[in-house]
Structure 1
Amino acid sequence: MNSFERRSVFSLAGIYGLRMLGLFMILPVFSLYAEGLHGVTPMLVGLALGIYGLTMALFQIPFGMLSDRFGRKPIITVGLLLFAIGSIIAAMSDSIWGVILGRAIQGSGAIAAAMMALMADLTREEERTKSMAIMGVSIGMSFTLALMIGPLLNAGIGVAGIFWMTAILASVGIAMLYLFVPDPEHLNFHREVETVPAQLKHILFDRQLFRLDIGILIQHAIMMAMFTVLPFVLRDKLGLPTDEHAWFYLPVLMISVLGMAPLVMFAEKKQKMKQVFLGCITLMAVSELLLGTDQRSLFAIGIGLLLFFVAFNVLEACLPSLISRMAPVESKGTAMGVYSTSQFLGAFVGGAGGGWLSGAFGIQAVFYACAITALVWVLIALGMHVPAYLSSFMAQVQVANENDAEQLAEQMLQLDGVHEAKVILEDGVAYLKVDKKQFDQKQLKALLTV
């Protein structure tokens, strides 16, 4: 990465990590806290935890499309403000319904799509997977840190205090967005673009994008279903006290990050993305079989969980990268919105499905169902087309009107190695996706001279 990309990627990863840290910190302590709220029932406790994912899924597509229309930063700011407002409402509530309302408002600030689209805007094609991997690592580190400090903060300031801290973290994220994250200079978000329904229809009916959307839904459904029962395996079958679970997860997550890096690099450098992609889905199925088969050995559970997180982390990095490569330049936000909606729907389906399976058929049934679902994903992914390994290229152009801009873009598409061309009249810029092995800048220069 160049210095511009490093600044962009680490700033955005920091913002998203702070937001997710605020979300994850309540997970290990909320159920106990909820016992003291007015009107609480077990079902409402589950609703308070899950309503965030539901509203997040509902608002991802609108936020992604709005970011295509009005710019990434304004929409991300609105999302972080909503997240802070929801946190404050939850912190001040003494009833379960107040917390549910606050959590729903937290989720309505659905910025994941706009964040990933901005990441794609600020990085070159060849650095995209690495950028998404850094984002994924920040989320994983937030999750690990939250498991460690959530109970400690609960002892000091309580869950209400954690909600207040979450609001503060959202405010810090807004400051970081404007102080450290560059603006995507080559994009003009106030231009007239394709109508929203047409954009959405195009994204939804793209078979390759649809495969990836189904993939992220399955992946997060498997993860949520697994974690509905894994804590019970650790506590009840392996005798690991609840307050020691975090120390079990910590080394597994750290080692999995080290295992992820070489696979991502191999997929990119050797252009073996599809092979690594399919291999990791298969590895996920194997890990679920291991977790379901041997639940009396801490070592076996550790190995199964390690294999799962290696596969999960690689797929978590590759999926958004593939989405950003396949989506049209002017509709990345919409594509990321559909993708993120699928992700959060997967979490909702996995949590509900895992709970039902566990109650009806036992803990092992959950792991086996996850393994079967992963194998179904392998079959779906077999038809995936890996996009060409392209690079971003920009050129200054002079065009008088929109018709000239469209004509120039069509002429650029005829040049060797040019796979996508978009001429932005207002900025006098041509934005190209090119294959470096075939692209000849002399041809482009000759065309622009004419």
Structure 2
Amino acid sequence: MTPTERRASQGLAFIFALRMLGLFLVLPVFALEAQKYPGGDNPALVGLAMGLYGLTQAVLQLPFGMASDRFGRKRVIVIGLLVFVLGSLLAAWATSLQGLALGRALQGAGAVSAAVTALLADLTRDQVRTKGMALIGMSIGLMFAVALVLAPWLTALVGLPGLFYVTALLALGGIAAVCWWVPAEPPRHAHTASSRARFADVLADAQLLRLNAGVFVLHAVQMAMWVALPAWLVLAGLARADHWQVYLPAVVLSFGVMGALLFPMERRGQLRTALRGAVALLALVQAGFLWVAYLDPNSLSLAPLVWLLLLFFCAFNCLEASLPSLVSRLAPITARGAALGVFNTCQSLGLFAGGALGGLLLKQAGPQGLFWATLLLSGLWLALMWGVRPTASAHPSAAR
């Protein structure tokens, strides 16, 4: 990477890290703390208050991405982070569960993921872009593990309203990074009729559709897995407060595996092969969890769960880095934000669907039915990946 590319990648990863830490800090404690608010005795309302964030994210990723194509990436990112700050403050001031739900919805309305990844694509060359995307993926994974450690301690110290004040401060730190750390964005391309026509092409592009379907499956599988995994870890003898002792080492070790395998394969022009291998590994992990689901719950061992989680994070982090990189290469430059907006919308919908359907499957069909479904989804995605062509044949206007 050039110095400018390193600065752009580190700055944008830092923005993602601050924002995601703010979100993840709330998740481990929200369901318990929400019971202290009027209406908190209704599990359906508590679930809605948690899930509204993902729903508004899904709805607004595409408009924010398209706006960044027209008005500039940095301007849209700052506006989105300000919306997130307002949502955090509204949740901190809430005196009822309905107020919490409204604050969460407004937090999700600051849907800047597409604009951030589009700016990273603008500021990096194709051959190093996956490294930049990997830094963002690593920041998300690390913040998830850090939040699991910090959330109970911070909640005991400042309560749920205090956590939302912390998320607001973290988002303000992200705005400062956009303004003073991230390099200036390149000149915008004219938003002409031809660029709007290219956006229609984005929606019909078979290669991009495969990648969009893939990110939906990846995050649906991830959320569905976590409906069952925490209870399994407890049955295996690991207290809920100690789950980070499994998650954090697995995430960190997976970064080393990704650096040793993914980046060298990308330099050799084998990114498509690496992508297929990661999807195959994801399917293999789901088969492993399906095997665990048929074991006697009273005799669960921690070791197979730890190994399967390590392999899952290896696959997940490789896919988190390579999928948006491929989307940015295949999309026309004038519709790059829109293409990444569609991609991030599918990602958010996957999170929403995985959580909702995972809970339903666990209730109706048990863990066996849940992991049969995740295995089937992973297998279908692997079949779809055989139609993804090499990135060298991407749209010529996407090349740098």
**TM-score normalized with structure 2 length:** 0.95
Are the counterparts in 1 of residues 58 and 348 from structure 2 also a CA contact under 8 Å?
Answer: yes
2:329 to 325, 329, 350: 325
1:166 maps to what in 2? Answer: 167
Q: What residue number does 1:263 align with?
A: 261
SS in 2 for 1:388: helix
Question: Counterparts of 1:246 and 1:216 in 2: how far apart (Å)?
Answer: 25
Give CA deviations for 1:302-323 in whole Å, capped at 9, x if unaligned. Answer: 1111111100110110000000
Structure with the larger strand share: 1
What letter matches 2:276 in structure 1?
L
Give the match's secondary structure for 2:37.
Answer: coil
> What's 1:102 paired with?
103
| C-alpha separation in 2, matches of 1:343 and 1:196 | 24
**Aligned: 1:145 with 2:149:** no
> Which residue in 2 is equivalent to 1:335?
339
Counterpart-to-counterpart distance in 1, 2:36 and 2:8: 43
Q: Could you say which residue in structure 2 is the equivalent of 1:420?
A: 396
Corresponding position of 1:222: 221
Distance 1:322 1:142 in 2: 24
Q: Which residue of 1 aligns with 2:250?
A: 252
Residue 230 of structure 2 corresponds to 231
Supply the RMSD in Å over aligned alpha carbons.
Answer: 1.6
Tell me how far apart the structure 2 counterparts of residues 105 and 194 of structure 1 sit (CA, whole Å).
Answer: 32
Matches for 1:297-376 after TM superposition, within 5 Å: 297-376=301-380
Return the alpha-carbon distance in structure 2 between the equivalents of residues 317 and 224 of structure 1: 18
Question: Partner amino acid for 1:230?
Answer: L
Higher Cα radius of gyration: 1
Equivalent-residue separation in structure 1 for 2:195 and 2:86 (angstroms): 28
Letter in 1 for 2:152: P
Shift of 1:259: 1.2
What amino acid is the match of 2:309? Answer: L
1:127-146 to 2 correspondence within 5 Å? Answer: 127-146=128-147
Describe the superposition over 1:31-87 as per-residue Cα deviations: whole angstroms up to 9, x where unpaired: 110111111210111111111011001000100000000000110011000100000
Moved more, 110-119 or 254-263: 254-263
The one-letter code of the counterpart of 1:339 is F
Q: 1:116-131, aligned counterparts within 5 Å?
A: 116-131=117-132
- Confirm or deny: 8 A CA contact 1:90 1:98 kept in the other structure: yes
State the alpha-carbon separation in 1 of the partners of residues 285 and 335 from structure 2.
Answer: 36
Letter in 2 for 1:277: L
Find the counterpart in structure 2 of residue 204 from structure 1.
Answer: 203
Q: Residue 3 of structure 2 corresponds to which residue in structure 1?
A: 3
- Code of the aligned partner of 1:72: R
Matched, 1:57 2:58: yes
Select the residue among 383, 386, 399 that pairs with 1:382: 386
- Cα offset for 1:389? 8.4
C-alpha distance in 1 between matches for 2:2 and 2:197: 36
Unpaired runs of at least 5, structure 2: none
Match of 2:181 in 1: 180
CA–CA distance in structure 2, aligned partners of residues 311 and 47 of structure 1: 30
Aligned 8 A contact 1:85 1:105 in 2: yes
How many Å separate the matches in 1 of 2:245 and 2:197? 49
Deviations 1:168-187 (A, max 9, x none): 111111111111111123x2
Structure 1 partner of 2:27: 27
Q: Is the 8 A contact 1:53 1:344 kept in 2?
A: yes
Structure number with higher helix proportion: 2
Q: Which residue of the partner structure matches residue 274 of structure 1?
A: 272
| More moved, 293-302 vs 333-342 | 293-302
Aligned residue type for 1:383 = G
Residue 127 of structure 2 contacts residue 267 of structure 2 at CA under 8 Å; is this kept in 1?
A: no
Q: State how far apart, in whole Å, the 1-side matches of 2:399 and 2:229 are.
A: 44
Matching residue of 2:39:
39
Query: What are structure 1's unaligned runs of at least 5 residues?
Result: 391-418, 422-431, 435-450
Q: Given that residues 193 and 330 in structure 1 are in contact (C-alpha distance below 8 angstroms), is that contact kept between their aligned partners in structure 2?
A: no
**2:142/2:248 contact within 8 Å kept:** no
The amino acid across from 1:353 in the alignment is: L
User: Which letter maps to 1:231?
Assistant: P
The one-letter amino acid paired with 1:212 is L
Distance in 2 (CA, whole Å) between partners of 1:62 and 1:198 is 16
Q: Compare relative contact order (CA 8 Å, sep 6+) and give the higher one, 1 or 2.
A: 2
Q: Distance in 1 between matches of 2:43 and 2:196?
A: 40
Match of 1:433 in 2: 399
Q: Deviation per CA, 1:285-330: give whole Å up to 9, x if none.
A: 1111212212612100111111111001101100000000000011
Change beyond 3 A, Cα 1:389–1:297: farther
Write the letter of the residue equivalent to 1:272: Q
- Count of residue pairs the alignment pairs up: 393
State the shift of 1:213 in Å.
Answer: 0.3
CA–CA distance in structure 2, aligned partners of residues 345 and 284 of structure 1: 19
> How many Å apart are 1:197 and its aligned residue?
5.7
Tell me how far apart the structure 1 counterparts of residues 196 and 335 of structure 2 sit (CA, whole Å): 12
Please say if 1:74 is aligned against 2:72: no
